[in-house]
Structure 1
Amino acid sequence: MEIIQSGQFAPAADGSADFVEHLSVPSLSFGTYSIPAGAKDDQSPHNEDEIYVVTQGRGSFTAGGRTVEVGPGTTLFIPARQEHRFHDVTEDLVTLVFFAPAYSGIPQS
C-alpha cells in the first residue's frame, strides 16, 4: 500500500499549469494537474486513456466536439488520442488524473 498526498493546488514555479505524477505502475499512473485561474492548458493528446476528477476550482473543458462546465466532483473520461483541453479557468483548478496504461509522456503517434 502507498499513501499519496495529492489534491493540493501546486502550479509550476512560473505560475503556469503543472502536471505532477505521483504513482506509475505498468497498468496505470496517477497524478495531479493544477491550472491557475486564467492560465492556458497547452497539453497535447496522449496515447493513454485518461480520467480527470476535479477536486477544486472552476472552468470549462472541451473534448470530442463537446464543451462542459467543470467544478468539484466533475469526472471526465477521455479516450486515448482525443484532443482535449481545459479553458476559461475562473478559479484555480486542481484535478486528479488517472492514465491507463501508465502515462508514457510521449505525444500521440
Structure 2
Amino acid sequence: MQIIKGAGEWNPPTGAENDWVENLRVPDLSVGTYCIPVGGVDTQSPHTEDEIYVVTSGRAKIVTPDHTAEIGPGAVIFVPAGEDHRFEDITEDLALLVVFGPAYGSRTQDQ
C-alpha cells in the first residue's frame, strides 16, 4: 500500500506551460496531477493510453469531437486512448487527478 501525497492538488504552473506531475508509476498504470490556471490553454495531444480524469478543483469545459461538457469538482471523465480532448473556458484554476492505464507513455503510437 502507498499513500500518494499531493496527487490531485492545485499547484500553480511556473512559466508558460501547464503543470503536469506524475505522482506514481507502475507498469499497468500511472497517476498524476494536471493543473491549468484560469484562462489557460490546454495544448495536450491525444494519448496512447486510456485515461481517467477526476476534477478535484476548478471549473471548465471538456471538449471532444463528439461532446462538450461543463465540469467541476467531483466530475469523473473517461477518455479512451487516441481520442482528441481538450479543456477549454477555464473559469476557475483547474486541478485534475489523472489515471492512465497502462502507464503514461508506455504504449507506442503503433499500438
TM-score, structure 2 as length reference: 0.90
SS at match of 2:56: strand
Q: Does 1:30 align with 2:31?
A: yes
- State the AA in 2 paired with 1:68: A
Structure 1: segments with no counterpart, 5+ residues: none
Structure 2: segments with no counterpart, 5+ residues: none
Post-superposition shift, 1:105? Answer: 7.0
2:84 corresponding residue in structure 1: 83
Which 4+ residue blocks in structure 1 deviate beyond 3 angstroms? 105-109
Q: Does 1:67 align with 2:48?
A: no
After superposition, give the CA deviation of every residue in 1:29-83 in whole Å (9 maximum; x if it has no partner).
Answer: 0001001000000000000000000010001001241000000011100000000
Whole-angstrom CA distance in 2 between matches of 1:83 and 1:16:
19
Question: 2:30, 2:104 within 8 Å by CA — same for their partners in 1?
Answer: yes
CA RMSD in angstroms, aligned pairs only: 1.7
- State the AA in 1 paired with 2:42: D
Question: 2:49, 2:107 within 8 Å by CA — same for their partners in 1?
Answer: no
CA change 1:74–1:87 in 2 (3 A) is same
Question: 1:16, 1:39 within 8 Å by CA — same for their partners in 2?
Answer: no
Whole-angstrom CA distance in 1 between matches of 2:38 and 2:106:
25
Question: 2:13, 2:37 within 8 Å by CA — same for their partners in 1?
Answer: no
Whole-angstrom CA distance in 2 between matches of 1:105 and 1:88:
30
1:99 corresponding residue in structure 2: 100
CA change 1:108–1:37 in 2 (3 A) is farther
The count of corresponding residues between Structure 1 and Structure 2 is: 109
CA change 1:25–1:72 in 2 (3 A) is same
